[in-house]
Each structure stands twice: as C-alpha cells, then as structure tokens.
Structure 1
C-alpha cells in the first residue's frame, strides 16, 4: 500500500536571465508514482528567498507578461536596502511577498486538478543564483 506522505526534490538550473519555468510535467511524473491513483494534495515549495511558485497559463505570453509586471513593480535599480549581488538584487528578496514560495494543489484520482490553461511554474528573477531546488510533497488517503 502506498504511503500517505511522499516527497522528492527537483534540481533545476534556471540560467542567467529572469525566467518562468513550467513544472507541470515534473509534478505529473511525481504524482504517477506518489499518488498511485489516490486523491490528496500536492504541495510545491521552493526553499529560496528569491523565487516563487505561480499557477498561470504558459506558452501564450502570460509568462512573459508576468515577468514584465514584476519588472514594473520591482525594478532592478538602486532603491533597495538589500544590496549584495547583482544591481537591484534587493527586489529579488521582495518577490516571494508577491509570488509566494509555495502552492498547494488538489489531486483527484492521482492527477492534478488544474484548470484547462493552468500550469505550475517556478518564477525566478534572481540571475545570480541559477541553481534551484523545488520540493514536491504528496499527502493522500
């Protein structure tokens, strides 16, 4: 019988530019084994102070729109008190207040219960740290 709680860590390289990385397929692969057809919850968590998890549409420009909005709300300039790293890096530390570092999603019959155009995404504006981890945890009955 499958265990009620299963977790794994994804290791990602996000590159040297701001990015929205679609994690949906990785979440689905994890649930194929972890959920085994059961109902439950998938928690997606990024243990970094400068990245977040968003549920958005990808591939139609929404991911680029999100990054554009974040650049407007959180400009990479010298206004930030937190000043180590690349210029404007302080904004990266404010990002998780707007794009939280976690999301909890329903799993029905072992599958993510997302809307038609929804994807699970890592949002990373920190160009100084290209190595990221994302923890996937399934809690099911």
Structure 2
C-alpha cells in the first residue's frame, strides 16, 4: 500500500465554479497508483469542493443562484470583517462541503460520465486557493 500527497494551487476568477477535474486526473496519472482512494480537502472556509454535472453549464448557474438565495449578501450577519460576501461565503462552503473522497479504479477516478470536480469560489473577488490531495492505494 502506497500513500502520496501534495498541495495543488488554483486561481479563481471570483464567484463561480472552476473545473479541476483534468488537473486532478493529471496528478493521479503521475502517481502510478491504479487502485485506491483519493481524498481532496479545500484548505479554505469561503470556498468548497463539489462533484457536479460537467456537460450543461446551466446546472452550475442554477446552483450558484440557489446558493445566493439561501445565503444572500446584505443579510444581517454579525461577521462581515471582509465585506458583504464574507459570511455568505462561509455559509455556502458549509452547505457544499470542503472535502471529497473518490475511488480510484484502473488508474482513473471512478467519476460518472457527466461528473466533474469543481472548486467553488464563494467570494466575489479572485482568490488563490489550495487543495490538499491525498491518495492511498497500490
């Protein structure tokens, strides 16, 4: 059994979803691990990770709109240290989650046909985000 880990960095362009599926697949291929479990952790409290449809961009638009309705800016939040999108970003990260576990089979992530891995940026401004990646397998 082998373990491999790293921290991958991504630049976001502000609120929205960054597809990181290819970057994760490249990293996985470089490890040479064919069977195992891939764990991802977003190292931030105002961004998150999710697996979502990768074909219709309207899915991500609808998801972003829904999250905005659940955690709107301008709410009566006690925490607004970094602006009106600060606490809503934390709420959205809580709702969508900061970690993923993905089985690895035959050297590939066992994602479904229409699934992609997305880094969700919940802040209005672009950010530098880090994802801790851990793989255990053989």
Tell me, yes or no, whether TM beats 0.5. Answer: yes
Aligned residues: 137
Whole-Å separation in 1 of the counterparts to 2:87 and 2:34: 42
1:47 is aligned to 43
Divergent runs of 4+, >2 A? none
State whether residues 78 and 88 of structure 1, in contact with CA within 8 Å, keep that contact through their aligned partners in structure 2.
no
State whether residues 82 and 90 of structure 1, in contact with CA within 8 Å, keep that contact through their aligned partners in structure 2.
yes
Over the aligned positions, Cα root-mean-square deviation in angstroms equals 1.5
2:3 is aligned to 5
Unaligned runs of 5+ in 1: none
**TM-score of the two chains, using structure 1 as the length reference:** 0.90
Out of 107, 111, 127, the residue aligned to residue 110 of structure 1 is 107
Deviation track 1:47-93 (CA, whole Å, cap 9, x = no partner) reads 10111111001341111111111111110113212111121321111
Whole-Å separation in 2 of the counterparts to 1:13 and 1:31: 20
Whole-Å separation in 1 of the counterparts to 2:49 and 2:66: 16
Select between 59-68 and 95-104 the one with higher mean Cα deviation. Answer: 59-68
**TM-score of the two chains, using structure 2 as the length reference:** 0.91
Unaligned runs of 5+ in 2: none
1:56 is aligned to 52
